[in-house]
Amino acid sequence: MIFITKFLARGLGPEEFGAYSLARRMISNIAPLLILSTEVALSRFIAMSKDPKTQSAYLLAAIIITGSAGLLFLAGALGGGRTFTTFVFGSPKYEALYKASLVLLEGYVLAVLVYSSLLGRQAIKAANAFQFLVMGLLPLSVAYFFATPKNLSLLVLLMGLAFYVSVGPIVFLLGKCGFPSWAVLKTSIKDVFTYSLPRVPAGFFLAGILTIGPFLAGKLMGLKESGFFVVGQSILRIMESFIVAFGLIALPKISQWISEGKEEYLQLKIKDLLALIFHLGLFLTIQTFIWSKEIILIWLGPEYMGIVPVMKIILLSLAPYIAYVFLRSIVDAVDVRAINMLNLFFSLLVTMAASLGLYYAGAGILGLALGTTIGFVALGLLTTRYLYRRYHFPLNDFRVLLVAGLNVLFAGAALLAKPFLTASSSQIGLLGTALALEILFFAGYIFVLFQSKTPWLLELRKRVVMESS
């Protein structure tokens, strides 16, 4: 993701990169309406089923449900192509980009189903290899060779076609497990649809929170500003990519613990996870905030330095966003109600109101960025508050004063070191020394937390020792 963004931003230029970014946000906003939350259901039901033909039935059910939604959507989207192009991009000249985005959108749905199916089967190595291919290697190759302004539509089309590699694993999985009977398939369609449907708005609302800023920036200011906004948000998405699989794996496991009556054990695990999010999220947020200018300079180049103020504001929502990504599957597992959907809906309203209010108050693109941050802070707090009220964790387990003091100490050290590093180093030298310094800070941070007997670190050490033995 880091290098794809780098190649695209430098190859396309700010204006066309803004158009590309808006297209990807459009895809992100529409995808939940086509996936229909079947990826969560697929992973859950396959993980809970031991029969290969039943697993095959669930995959086929998800394909039928998403395929039907996709065909209906395409019929409307292609019929009003010119109108929708003008609405999204502000000009009909991007109609080829709009149609290429539709190809990418349908391919992305297939890739999500394959990835979720592999995770449900606990085929983690295969899932990682597949994701690396379709989300990493193929888009990286396309970005490297085709990122020029005149190739924008072709670039998006090729990225979309790369997702259709997913057809191979689908044929393999269905052929290996065997096609289910109609009775089993019908039951599977009902199971997936019944579980997924109440959760559909949640994905749409999350995409909406991420889309409001870039869309309004594109409409009110221009495609260049929209691209700046998306790059600012990309730090959240990059961090999310490290942890998103946790939810797909955790959901069936936590559901199993609840069915076995292990509520007390689950409470301890959730408390450790909340502490981990607080401890690491705060450190990552502060240190990334300090180095944000240098990150953009090395990553994208001086023509994108206008992103820095937007990125700094959005970074303030990093810890709450990580909290939501980590905890949403736990909330889904412990409560049959669509709690996440309600939290996301409220946060979407907060984002919209704050973004528009701050923009028209004269804050411009920084107001839109602050609106997005306020929305994600609300989402993280609502998600954490739900679990905190349900399980009543003692606050002293979170080492709040110690963690605050350590972060002040390491933030001060980074701010003192930064002028010397930036004045005396080339870009490559700055990157190497800054990374080395941050690794040293992080090691010191973890060491002090470990010495204070922080429970999640003690648990981590115990698991590492068990695995190595």
Judge contact between 160 and 105, C-beta under 8 A.
yes
pLDDT tens sequence across 2-42: 888 889 988 888 888 888 888 887 888 788 888 888 887 88
pLDDT for the residue numbered 32? 84
Please list the alpha-helical segments (H only) found in 291-399: 292-299, 307-315, 318-334, 339-358, 364-391
**C-alpha span between 32 and 37 (Å, rounded):** 7
pLDDT for the residue numbered 248? 58
pLDDT for the residue numbered 134? 93
pLDDT for the residue numbered 122? 79
Please list the alpha-helical segments (H only) found in 197-222: 200-220
Domain hosting 371: range is 2-398
pLDDT for the residue numbered 330? 81
pLDDT for the residue numbered 107? 93
Kindly state whether residue 451 falls inside one of the protein's structural domains: no
Low-confidence spans in the chain with pLDDT less than 50: none
Kindly state whether residue 414 falls inside one of the protein's structural domains: no
- The string of DSSP letters for 97-142 reads HHHHHHHHHHHHHHHHHHHHHHHHTT-HHHHHHHHIIIIIIHHHHH
pLDDT for the residue numbered 381? 94
**Length reported for the chain:** 469
pLDDT for the residue numbered 160? 92
**C-alpha span between 305 and 286 (Å, rounded):** 19
pLDDT for the residue numbered 56? 87
**C-alpha span between 119 and 131 (Å, rounded):** 11
Q: Is 71 helix (H, G, I), strand (E, B) or coil?
A: helix
pLDDT for the residue numbered 255? 64
Looking at residue 396, the DSSP 8-state letter turns out to be G
Kindly state whether residue 407 falls inside one of the protein's structural domains: no
Q: For the purposes of burial, counting CB atoms within 10 Å of the CB of 257, is it exposed (0-12), middle (13-18) or buried (19 or more)?
A: middle
Kindly state whether residue 277 falls inside one of the protein's structural domains: yes
Q: Which of 64, 60, 61, 67 shows the shortest CA–CA distance to 34? A: 67
Pull the structure tokens for residue 57: 């039935």
| Domains identified in the chain, total number | 1
